[in-house]
Structure 1
Amino acid sequence: MITSTQPVTIGEPVVVLVDPVLNGRPFKDACAELGYPVVGVYTIAPASLDRMSADHADGDAATLYGSEPIDLAGRLDTLAPRVHAVIPATEPAVHSAAVLADTRAVPGNPLGTARARRDKRAMRALAAARGVPVPRYEVVRDLSRLPEAAARIGLPLIVKPATGAGSHNVFLVTDTGRLSAIAGADPCDLFGNPIDEWLVEEYVRGTEYAINTFSHDGRHTILDVWEYRLPGPGDYDNPYWDFVQAEPDPAIEKFALDVLDAFEIRLGPCHIEVKTGERGPALIEIGARLPGAGIPRLWERHSTFRPYHDTLAVYLGREPAVAAAPPRFAARLGMSFVRNDGPPGILCRLAGLDEVRRLPGVDTVFQQARVGDLVPTTRDLGTELVKVHLTAPDGPALTRLIARVRDLITVDIEHE
């Protein structure tokens, strides 16, 4: 079902932002600077949408809600005849935005490979068909068939929803006894949409990287490379511990460029996650949109790159500033996540945040939980207790700053 908050037709040229939730406000600010009204199109399930951003529609000239791209396209035709750009603002928007852009013949990445740039089933199939290494995998609809798929793939393995994000509902399986716990998993993905199929895939041991890129007319720029660092050498299903800008790695960067070409990325930002296993790099995920976790905020504050303005420019058919020169960074960027790795419990003490805020190089402290809260086990992005954005002159200094932050923050949880 499609609903609209405004029944009137917008006669002037508009920019359509699809799922402008976590990145919504800065995108809307960039549109306002250029004088474009925004039509917000929201495909995220209503309950999840309100949880992520209760004020998500603020700044919209008109707002559409729905889940079927073709229905949304028809409603948009009536509401806004003059659409100049359609931009995927958040993870679930990638396919829907491509459909809307195609119906309006405005700049966008090819529709034929759009689903593969979002849905992990299509992602794996396209990668395999075009020679991009991916983990061995099977697709399972009925969770009762997990043991059969696990026997064929082998342990350890990862089970995750085909349309998930942020490590929500991602399970590391090291023995078959753990498969039964997945039956009680949240039946919806991070965005509140029902999970119809799961991926059962080989666990790739190795360092995990996120490569952020920007493309214009098929020409690609590597923006930066981030490394996921964990507290120990063990296998994991939640990578959010320390996340830091890494030194350039020609092999990783070339792999990312090959991925962009294989998935027919022609314009805009892209976030690629890779693991470097024994057989070399393997593609874990690709998303044709800006990265999450607050990375664009750090770019805006500590580099020459203006992610929202350049994304708007390229989707308007203009040359973005980053096409002329790669971004220059004033500091090495990073972030740390303070987690509850034990069972759920009551947060009794969370100390040291004021001291952390005063440290040179601490950009922002995001406190997700308060004393007295019932805090879940941290399994995904957004359920951490605290996230700290950091800057330092170089990699070693960033590592020292992260250690100091972890020394200062102390947590006591009364577990159930």
Structure 2
Amino acid sequence: MRLTLEPRAPHAAPGPLPRLREAVVLVDGVLNGAPFKEACREAGLPVIGVYTFDRQTLEAMSPQHADGDAVSLYGNDPHRITARLKELTDMVAAVVPATEPGVCCAAEVAAQWGLPANPVPTAAACRDKRLMRELARRTGIRVPAHEVVREAADLRAAARRIGFPLIVKPATGAASHNVVLVDAERKLAGALAEDRRDLFGSVVDEWLVEEYVQGTEYAVNTFTVDGRHTVVDTWQYRLPGTDDYDNPYWDFVQVDEATTARAEVERFALDVLDAFGIRIGPCHVEIKLDASGPVLIEIGARLPGAGIPLQWQRHSDWRPYHDTLACYLGHRPMLADRRPRFDATVGMCFIRNDGPPGVLRCLEGIDQVAGYAGVEEILTPFRPGDSVPRTRDLGTELAKVRLSAPTGQALESLITSVRRTVRAEIVPDPTG
């Protein structure tokens, strides 16, 4: 990708940019960008924003992504980025990955400046699921049985070897974008998306066809300082009923009870961190637990998405963005010594369209739900009159409701009330 440089000060004068005494390099500060930049402002450090993924996708995902940058760089070549940084600043104080695609670039740039970072040799395995599974298997971490395919012609044979049900997913990507559950051979047609780009606009050259692990899914969030890991919290993906889970966006709730299952997946998550050589910062480890034990689904060496850090800020005694910045600056944050303390159990539920695509006429009851105690935020990506797809990934839900309650049981009751109240009316699209 070509590297470009853009000053972000309003009405910047032509000519060379003023040289910065020191700066924080924030890599892919898109979904988590604004609160990281706020933490940098409070620390008195200007931000050089580095954006590594497809420009068109970047602009569509976050038109204001560069707000707060002293300078914005667009490109993904760590050596060219480092050369530019030497022209812009006397000292890079820290290199912080904010979103998944930036993890590899951040590690390489930090290594060139001799700054705290996770190891370059394993950074790519926290992004590319082919490398992720290869490294996990080499180090004794259980992963789903899988094969890699390039074209639809290879899919059927791989699926027969893996067996049904199975998951088809891009080798890169996030938020379940273009991830498909296939429970029978007749449903394989169309499993490879026609748009061969992942969520961040990168071309998908290969797909994973992998065993669907039937069991409960957890996400263990961790924080590491100098190779010492702390579990922040553990979340569970839940369905409203008793069926096995097959999509991550139903109910996502913090586990507040010390159960055997929670202890097992947390121990496994720490083993994953060691296997991947994690030395610093936050990680988000997704794990399934079946009758044979834990299985690694994914590891991300960055803060989790879906607004979870914002819920941490509201309901715990730690500041995820400030502590992440402090850690990469070489300081010792609070999480180096203990888990955070929470004053509530937090979670979210997703109002979905599980029927055919259509036109959203209304979300009945959404205003009523907004007044419920414990409903903190409702995000609705679609408005009445919009065409809505069948919900398959993050961003195609009809509403995301962020919640808190005194206990896990109270949170479950609140989610039940939200689901009973909200009803989507979707009518056929007259344009076909």
- TM-score, length-scaled by structure 2: 0.94
Q: Please give the secondary structure, in 1, of the residue aligned with 2:311.
A: helix
2:11 is equivalent to residue 19 of structure 1: no
Q: 2:107 aligns with which of 95, 98, 106?
A: 98
1:185, distance to aligned residue in structure 2 (A): 3.3
1:164, distance to aligned residue in structure 2 (A): 1.1
CA offset digits 1:7-39 (Å, max 9, x no partner):
525331100010001110000000000110000
Q: Please give the secondary structure, in 2, of the residue aligned with 1:32.
A: helix
Q: 1:193 aligns with which of 188, 202, 217?
A: 202
Q: Please give the secondary structure, in 2, of the residue aligned with 1:12.
A: strand
402-411 vs 208-217, which deviates more? 402-411
Q: 1:26 to 1:153 in 2, by over 3 A?
A: same
1:331, distance to aligned residue in structure 2 (A): 0.3
2:305 is equivalent to residue 296 of structure 1: no
Residue matched to 1:113: 122
309-318 vs 244-253, which deviates more? 244-253
85-94 vs 134-143, which deviates more? 134-143
Q: Please give the secondary structure, in 1, of the residue aligned with 2:202.
A: coil
Residue matched to 2:367: 354
1:235, distance to aligned residue in structure 2 (A): 5.1
Residue matched to 2:45: 36
Superposition pairs for residues 204-215 of structure 1, below 5 Å? 204-215=213-224
2:333 is equivalent to residue 320 of structure 1: yes
Q: 2:399 aligns with which of 381, 386, 389?
A: 386
Q: 2:172 aligns with which of 155, 163, 175?
A: 163
Residue matched to 1:344: 357
Q: Please give the secondary structure, in 1, of the residue aligned with 2:189.
A: helix
For residues 8 and 286 of structure 1, what CA distance do their matches in structure 2 show? 38
Q: 1:9 to 1:109 in 2, by over 3 A?
A: farther
For residues 278 and 70 of structure 1, what CA distance do their matches in structure 2 show? 47
1:184, distance to aligned residue in structure 2 (A): 4.2
Residue matched to 1:216: 225
CA offset digits 1:310-342 (Å, max 9, x no partner):
000000011012223311000000101011111
Q: 1:184 to 1:165 in 2, by over 3 A?
A: closer
Contact 1:9–1:78 (Cα < 8 Å) also in 2 = no
294-303 vs 88-97, which deviates more? 88-97
300-309 vs 39-48, which deviates more? 39-48
How many corresponding residue pairs? 416
29-38 vs 351-360, which deviates more? 351-360
1:75, distance to aligned residue in structure 2 (A): 2.8
Q: Please give the secondary structure, in 2, of the residue aligned with 1:181.
A: coil
Contact 1:256–1:272 (Cα < 8 Å) also in 2 = yes
41-50 vs 72-81, which deviates more? 72-81
Q: Please give the secondary structure, in 1, of the residue aligned with 2:48.
A: strand
For residues 49 and 395 of structure 1, what CA distance do their matches in structure 2 show? 37
1:278, distance to aligned residue in structure 2 (A): 2.4
Q: 1:177 aligns with which of 175, 186, 204?
A: 186
CA offset digits 1:51-97 (Å, max 9, x no partner):
22100000000000113333333333333341110011011111111
Taking only the aligned residue pairs, the percentage that are identical comes to 58
For residues 82 and 196 of structure 2, what CA distance do their matches in structure 1 show? 28
Superposition pairs for residues 354-373 of structure 1, below 5 Å? 354-373=367-386
Residue matched to 1:258: 271
57-66 vs 42-51, which deviates more? 42-51
What runs of 5+ residues in structure 2 fail to find an aligned partner? 8-15
Q: 1:147 aligns with which of 149, 156, 159?
A: 156
Residue matched to 2:11: none
Q: Please give the secondary structure, in 2, of the residue aligned with 1:82.
A: strand
1:40, distance to aligned residue in structure 2 (A): 0.4
For residues 129 and 239 of structure 1, what CA distance do their matches in structure 2 show? 27
For residues 357 and 4 of structure 1, what CA distance do their matches in structure 2 show? 43
Contact 1:270–1:287 (Cα < 8 Å) also in 2 = yes
Residue matched to 2:5: 4
CA offset digits 1:148-168 (Å, max 9, x no partner):
211221111111011110000
Q: 1:225 aligns with which of 201, 225, 234?
A: 234
Q: Which amino acid aligns with 1:3?
A: T
Q: Which amino acid aligns with 1:325?
A: R
For residues 235 and 71 of structure 1, what CA distance do their matches in structure 2 show? 47
Q: 1:9 to 1:125 in 2, by over 3 A?
A: farther
Residue matched to 2:283: 270
For residues 410 and 193 of structure 2, what CA distance do their matches in structure 1 show? 43
CA offset digits 1:121-143 (Å, max 9, x no partner):
11000000000000011111223
